[in-house]
Amino acid sequence: MTGTTTDRPMPGPRRPREIWTGRSEVWLSEVSSDPAEPMRNVAGGGLRTSNRMLTNVVDRERRRRRARSSGVDAARGFALIGMFAIHMLPAAREDGTPTLVWQLLAGNSAALFAVLAGVSLAFNSGAEQPFTGTKMNRSRANVAIRGLLLISLGVGLNQIGLAAFDILPYFGVMFLLAIPLLPLRARTLLIIGAVMIVVLPLVRFLIHRQVDGFGWHPNPTLATIISAPVDVLSSLLITGAYPGLTWFALVCIGMGIGRLQLHFTTPRMLIIVAGGAAMLFAIAVTRLLVYLNRFGGYTIVRTSFPGKTTDEVDDFLVYGPTGPLPTASPGWLISGGPHTNTPFAFLIGVGFAMAAIGTCILIARRSNLLRPLVMIVRIPMSLYVSHLILLTMSPDDFGAFRLFIVQCLFAFLFTAVWLRFFKRGPVEAVITAVTRALTKLLGFGASPGSSVARA
């Protein structure tokens, strides 16, 4: 080597380094976008292998997110079938005891709907990374329009004298209440929602005592809105079947869940475990206090029902209220019956919803078992509207079980046939068209999100 010059290999052409933006999908798509790049010829086939490995990572990430969306849709389909069952099947057996369907789904299917409405709001406003700036303003306008449309649709349906409480106007109010919380992240939303579950039932009770003389309009119509607007507003927020003031806590929890990275295993398992624990805790405490009368719990509940018999109090605890909630004393707030609007009732509903959502996402990640439920919620609003109309128009002697079967068959068959010719359901198409037109009219362009008509 003495007296000679050693030739060192010179580096070949290489692609300039990209600035890391935190979104690996963008960088990976740029790596493999141009097959003529000179970097393909560097280091033999090693770089091509690396590109394939990185592309596989992106594909796996997309499959996870697709499973997340399918799982959430399956949970929404389960909630829809659960609402069919609660409205159509008998609540009690011949001996007066509640049926298994009632014990499992009464109040819980509606709670699952409310939580999923929050998840939908989170997905359509950025999911785990909330929108900012113009995108967030567009999201706010989108949610406001959807809320007003839901109120209008619900009031229109109520004109025919529905046989069940219509949740659509209440959802519209909840959407409007959710607008200020759209920019918040998962942890903040979950904490706020947990505090609301504990505090807002008592706040609602105190306000209810002040407006107890107002009219009660659980299914407001155009006539009642014109003749008694304050009474209608009081019903939608405080005294109605799904008071927006308290049920909004479930929407807030749902928004927090929608901000989590549900396409990963840990968040899914976390909401399953946390939801199951919350539900079991609330059931155990209410059983101990009310049904076993420990620490005088049942006696405390009785103070809220002066002049009522024991059977009437027991019916309230098992089957929920048939009219406005009690205002004599707050003792009933330690109960946990369906639609009683107590902290324990909301804990049971939220726990059920979290466990159902996490389980559905977990199953969707592994198999196609839930595909039928995913299919019907492509037109959920149309099916819910048809359900309320069928329930109201069906003959009294048709038979509860037969009516439920007809409703389920109609839901699956109508969805399958309709989607062969149209992209959206009839109600969804109208809501989507109006929302996009009004959003554009407000100067925000196309509305964000993939499904503006889902609640």
Residue-wise pLDDT for 205-229, tens only, equals 999 999 988 999 999 999 999 999 9
Coil vs helix vs strand at 293: coil
How many distinct structural domains can be found in the chain? 1
Whether residue 12 lies inside any domain: the answer is: no
Helices 343-366 and 46-88, packing angle to 10 deg: 140
Alpha-carbon distance 113 to 167, whole Å? 10
Give how far the C-alpha of residue 317 lies from the chain's centroid of Cα atoms, to the nearest Å. Answer: 25
Q: What is the largest CA-CA distance in the chain?
A: 114
| 8 Ramachandran zone, left/alpha/beta (phi>0; psi -120 to 50) | beta
Burial 46-55 (b: 16+ CB within 10 A, else e): ebeeeeeebe
Distance (Å, rounded) from C-alpha 401 to C-alpha 394? 13
Count the helices and strands in the chain (H runs, E runs).
Answer: 18, 0
* Three-class secondary structure of residue 92 per DSSP: strand
123 lies in some domain: yes
Helix, strand, or coil (residue 98): strand
Does any domain span residue 328? no
Closest CA to 372 of 407, 401, 411: 411
Please give the pLDDT value at position 441. Answer: 87
- Spell out, as residue ranges, where the chain has pLDDT lower than 50: 1-2, 21-44, 447-453
pTM: 0.84
Backbone angles phi, psi at 333, to 5 degrees: -70, -10
Please give the C-alpha separations between residue 358 and each of 365, 381, 414, 454, in angstroms, as whole numbers.
Answer: 11, 23, 28, 19
3: in domain: no
Burial call 144-182: b when 16+ CB within 10 Å, e when fewer: bbbbbbbbbbbbebbeeeeeebbbbbbbbbbbbbbbebb
Say how many CA atoms lie within 13 Å of 131 toward its Cβ: 21
Nearest 10 degrees: Cα torsion 42, 47, 49, 50: 180
CA atoms of 168 and 165, how far apart (whole Å): 9
pLDDT of residue 444: 76
What burial class does residue 8 get, using C-beta atoms within 10 Å of its C-beta: 0-12 exposed, 13-18 middle, 19+ buried?
exposed
Residue 353 domain flag? no
| Segments forming the whole domain that contains residue 163 | 65-266+376-441
User: What pLDDT score was predicted for residue 317?
Assistant: 94
Placement of tokens 């011949």 in the chain: 94
Contact 336, 107 (CB under 8 A): no
Identify whether the C-beta of residue 181 lies closer than 8 Å to the C-beta of residue 235: no
**3-state class percentages of the chain: helix first, strand second, coil last, to nearest 5:** 65, 0, 30
Contact 149, 220 (CB under 8 A): no
Give alpha helix (H) positions in 19-178: 24-31, 46-88, 100-105, 108-123, 133-158, 168-178
Whether 93 maps to a domain, the answer reads yes
Q: Are the CB atoms for 349 and 82 separated by under 8 Å? A: no
Please report whether residue 19 resides in a domain: no
* Residue 64: predicted pLDDT: 59
Instruction: Give burial (CB, 10 Å; 0-12/13-18/19+) of 104.
Output: middle
* Residue 4, in any domain of the structure: no
